[in-house]
């Protein structure tokens, strides 16, 4: 469970707060006037969070690409068989030209 301290306590007990975050591998929440303002994490916990955040951003980008592809696919669903075959031929020609 995270430890909660005031900003005044942090000024007096900075080393203790950092040690708690590092040794206990738990957060220290710093409050000012009873409102959370900051969090102290161990460096390992911070790195884990940054990796998680990067993964979330990558997943969001992939989902955006999938949504775009789905929209394009929906547009192609309106194609006649002849139009679809023409599109396939155009793509084939592009690939052969590489």
- For 2-21, write each residue's pLDDT tens digit: 999 999 999 999 999 999 99
pLDDT score of 73 more than 70: yes
CB within 8 Å of 89: residues ≥ 6 apart: none
| CATH dotted code for 3-41 | 3.40.1620
> What separation in angstroms does the CA of 3 have from each of 14, 24, 38, 98?
13, 10, 12, 60
Is pTM beyond 0.85 here?
no
């Amino acid at each position: 469970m995270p430890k909660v301290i005031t900003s005044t306590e942090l000024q007096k007990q900075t080393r203790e707060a950092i040690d708690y975050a590092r040794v206990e591998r738990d957060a220290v929440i710093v409050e000012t006037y009873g409102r959370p303002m900051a969090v102290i994490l161990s460096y390992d916990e911070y790195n884990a969070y940054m990796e998680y955040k990067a993964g979330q951003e990558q997943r969001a980008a992939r989902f955006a690409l999938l949504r775009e592809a789905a929209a394009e696919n929906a547009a192609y669903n309106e194609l006649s068989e002849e139009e679809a075959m023409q599109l396939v031929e155009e793509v084939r020609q592009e690939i052969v030209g590489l």
